[in-house]
Amino acid sequence: MKIYLAHSSHEMDQGYHIESILKSLGCEVWNPFDKEKNIFLRELGDRYKNHEWEDNGKAIHWKEAWLRLPEEEKKEIADWITEDDHEGVDWADIVVMIYPEDGRTIGIGCEMEYSSPYGANKPLYIYAPTWLLHHPWVISYATYRTDDIYELLATVRNLMK
């Protein structure tokens, strides 16, 4: 099964962990923060290596690096990011979304809309804080929604049977 793993920059460590679990179940995973394919992370990592990268080499202080870029470069990178996200959703059989505990993200909402019946029409499996599970957009678009990550992973595993 091919999975697009939508998560925010605030949840990158958790995203990498969930990606490894999904891969151990035999899934192919498109992680938009995969720094091997993500030009944005790679370029910023090279450019600001000594300042922005965390010791683990995965998390980046992207806000500071992003603010330093010229506007035309931001536009080019922003276009690449959104096109890459669309390509990943189109490629996937299902979309798994990990909302941050504080709900701070605009990208996941955009990925949810693109994944919806009004976009790519992909089954959408959402892990979110309890307070977000009852949001009308989450209720309307989710194939499955939970505030228990282990329940979500078990549900995905059962899809593979």
State the DSSP string of the chain: -EEEEEE-GGGHHHHHHHHHHHHHTT-EEE-TT-TTT-HHHHHHHHHTHHHHB-TTSS-B-HHHHHHHS-HHHHHHHHHHHHHHHHHHHHH-SEEEEE--TT---SHHHHHHHHHSTTTT---EEEE--HHHHTSHHHHHH-SEEES-HHHHHHHHHHHT-
Cβ atoms of residues 119 and 27 within 8 Å: no
User: In this predicted structure, what is the pLDDT of residue 147?
Assistant: 96
pLDDT, residue 81, reads: 84
Q: What per-residue confidence (pLDDT) applies to 55?
A: 44
Per-residue model confidence (pLDDT) at position 27 = 96
Confidence of residue 22 (pLDDT cuts 50, 70, 90): very high
Identify the pLDDT of residue 106.
87
Q: Which of the pair, 20 or 44, is modelled with greater confidence? A: 20
Tell me, which fold does domain 2-159 have in CATH? Rossmann fold (3.40.50)
pLDDT tens per residue, range 33-81: 886 666 666 665 555 554 444 445 544 456 666 776 788 888 888 888 8
Name the average pLDDT for the chain. 84
The arithmetic mean of pLDDT across residues 123-138, rounded, is 94
